[in-house]
Amino acid sequence: MRLLHTSDWHLGRWLMTASLVEHQRAFLGWLADLADERSVDAILVSGDVYDRAIPSVDAVRLLEAALVDLVGVCPVILISGNHDSPTRLGFGGPLLESLAIHLRSSVDDIGRAIEIVGSDGVTVAVYGIPYLEPEVTRGQLGAEKSHEAVLTAAMERVRDDLSTRREHATTTGAPIPRAVVLSHCFIRGGSVSDSERDVSVGGIADAPATVFHGVDYVALGHLHGPQEIANPGGPLVRYSGSPIAYSFSEESHTKSVAIVDIDAQGHVIVDEVAAPVPRPLTTITGDLGDLLTDARLDEVEDHWIRAVVTDPRRPENAMDRLRSRFANAIELSWVAHVDGQPVVAIDRRVDPVTATPVEVVVGFIEHVTGQPASEEERRLADEAVERVRIMETSS
């Protein structure tokens, strides 16, 4: 049995002020080609299909076109993530199921397996556990208010159905089905980035990998870096990661999808396949003049650029000047350096409670400029404070 595990498409997402729709379209086209080339038996999409609960028209059209291409290769199984609306993503589920597109966005569907028979004859029961907000779902699941509790209750439904299927197979002499679970959650031990929306609202945010015991492979979504979660003695638990970097905290990630092979005994082999990178993310640091002339930066001129400018004084029109060389510069910050060292922040230099008004003003000037205030600036600060005092006295 060969499965393709992917997640966190975030269709419709922007990178700062830049739309990523065309990059997402390129990835989805590549994904369909990969599934065909590798003779995949099913595609697993572990949540955060959209970036917003109410997706844009472009995002909806993009998913529609992608599903047409993907289901032309093999069945597709999707669950809703914490960015998705379960109702909107799950709309038309029974109709789509007849077309081999299986949506799992409801608690009621957690114990309802999709049975896939691979080209090698191996049978796998695939279960979808959508993102479970504890406050919303604990009543339906009869669980306490925590992510661990609702996931545990969900897995009880999975194991009950799986046990029935395996008992039936034993009785009839049919092959024992292997089991795969899709889940969108934060499992303890995972490495996070800035792009994932916090799931702590509604209860304790994480859960241990041990909640998934009893199956062969757990296809996780939510964390954007591809990674395996340690789970001694249990199933292989793995995040596929997002296919595109969605913040500069992900610029070091190698984005990928996972080709997962499962044999009749439940042995699992995972092959990471690097996803295409339409435009890398790069952070550059230095004085603005150096950034605009450094020949070593020639190779990153077409990247998405985050610039940390270190000039002692804040450069004028810094972003416009930066974009004269780096057309895709989308983030700029100024961290003043003097003699190669960052300037100490004002709140660590001047105590506004004990300092005089003039000292506070001078400290602010030095914080903004990154240099000691000149005699002229000190004189102007003194005059300004004195005028305020005179106005207060005369009013």
d(CA 80, CA 110): 12
How long is the chain? 395
- The whole-angstrom separation of Cα 111 and Cα 75 is 19
Sign of CA pseudo-dihedral 268, 274, 27, 81:
positive
- pLDDT of residue 353 exceeding 70: no
Task: Map out the domains of the chain with their CATH numbers.
Answer: 2-274 (3.60.21.10), 281-394 (no CATH)
Joined together, the tokens standing for residue 96 give: 């789509």
| Contact predicate 292/305, CB 8 Å | no
Q: pLDDT tens digits, residue range 265-289?
A: 999 999 999 999 999 999 999 999 9
pLDDT, tens digit, for every residue of 160-171?
999 999 999 999
List pLDDT tens digits, range 365-390: 877 776 778 889 899 988 888 887 77
* Beta pairing, strands 76-79 & 178-184: unpaired
24 in Cβ contact with 9 (< 8 Å): yes
> Does pLDDT of 339 surpass 90?
no
Tens of pLDDT, residues 73-122:
999 999 999 999 999 999 999 999 999 999 999 999 999 999 999 999 99
Return the axis-axis angle of helices 357-369 and 375-394, rounded to nearest 10°: 140
**Nearest one of 372, 316, 374, 309 to 346, comparing CA atoms:** 372
| Spatial separation of the C-alpha atoms in residues 372 and 98, rounded to whole Å | 72
**How would residue 395 be classed by pLDDT, with cut points 50, 70 and 90?**
low
Q: Of 306, 301, 242, nearest to 277 (Cα)?
A: 242
Q: Render pLDDT for 28-43 as a digit per residue (tens, 0 to 9).
A: 999 999 999 999 999 9
Give pLDDT, residue 344: 59
Q: Residue 195 has what pLDDT?
A: 79
How high is the pLDDT of residue 201? 44
Tokens of 233: 């003695």
**pTM, rounded to two decimals:** 0.85
Give dist(CA 125, CA 258) in Å, integer. Answer: 18
CA atoms within 13 A on the CB side of 70: 28
Contacts of 125 (CB under 8 A, 6+ apart): 113, 114, 115, 161, 162, 165, 177, 178, 179, 180
